[in-house]
Structure 1
Amino acid sequence: MFFVIVSLLYKVTRKLLTVPSVLLRRGTAKEAELLVLRQENALLRRQLAGPVRYEPTDRFWFAALSGLIPRRHWLKIFPVTPGTLLAWHRRFIAAKWDYTARRRGGRSPTPVAIRTLVLRLARENPR
């Protein structure tokens, strides 16, 4: 259920981020690049001492902002590889197609009357 909410939130964020790109068109990539840099700065300020660890919110924002920046610029702008960005995007979208909550536990149990009848018939007719 959590992943479905995150997936929905991710899709809404992507749609909201594309609204300025439709209206402004020219400066949108620059604005998105600035947002990426701000997110990266916030991430690095949180983790000054050790190695960089991307939290789900960081992944969320980088993946959402990647839709506003042309792919040929991803390698120069984002702190991770384009493959990583695409993997994060796939992970956020995959929750839409996750039906594990709707699955049942398998075949329903056979009623007792039918089971006893089948066992009796098997004893009476061994072949």
Structure 2
Amino acid sequence: MTGERHPRLVVSEYAEHYNRHRPHRSLGQRAPDRLTDPEPPIARNHTRTSRHDRLGGLIHEYSQVA
């Protein structure tokens, strides 16, 4: 059985993902907390990416690897 702590953790984790990592189409594929960053580069055919799972794999965050 879960208490109040678990839903708070889940909401906190999702809010961080939404505001810092999730690309928003209307914001030029940037997250709300990263509006001053330049637009992300367009991925090419052989672009390497890395994946970071959050919330036990329910959310995936991807980033380009140099």
Q: TM-score, normalised by structure 2?
A: 0.38
Greater helix proportion? 1
Q: Which has the higher contact order (CA 8 A, sep 6+)?
A: 1
Larger Rg: 1
Greater strand proportion? 2
